[in-house]
Amino acid sequence: MRFKKFNLLIPLLLLVLNIIFLSFLIEELIDASEPNYGGGLGMSTPVIGLISFIYIRKFAEKKSSSLIRTLQGLNLLFILFPVVVFFYGIFIMANY
């Protein structure tokens, strides 16, 4: 049951936030100095991605457009990429 009308502006705003925060994480991966991970902003992308993913699943129509499917794919990327990087870092430190 759908309670509200789907507003595309909310997932697009969360997409922009995720791109900005993910850029902090990617910059730290490229940089060879001491890691600071953007003050935690790089690791907030899974939370924002999950919020956007749930919002789209809850309020979007069953037959969604290609834009909605693309947003859901990007949300999965934003959820999985920082988690994989985090566990890869733990694996590297454990074997160092």
Is pLDDT of 39 > 70?
A: no
- Residue 81, Cβ density class (10 Å: 0-12 exposed, 13-18 middle, ≥19 buried): middle
Within the chain, residue ranges assigned H as helices are 9-30, 45-59, 66-94
Mean pLDDT of 5-30: 87
Mean pLDDT of 68-92: 88
Mean pLDDT of 8-32: 86
Rounded Cα–Cα distance for residues 6 and 55 (Å): 9
Is pLDDT of 13 > 90?
A: yes
Whole-number pLDDT of residue 22: 86
Mean pLDDT over all residues of the chain?
A: 83
Q: How many angstroms separate the Cα of 3 from the Cα of each of 8, 59, 68, 88, 94?
A: 15, 8, 19, 40, 48
Is pLDDT of 2 > 90?
A: no
Whole-number pLDDT of residue 1: 52
- Stated pTM of the model: 0.79
Whole-number pLDDT of residue 16: 94
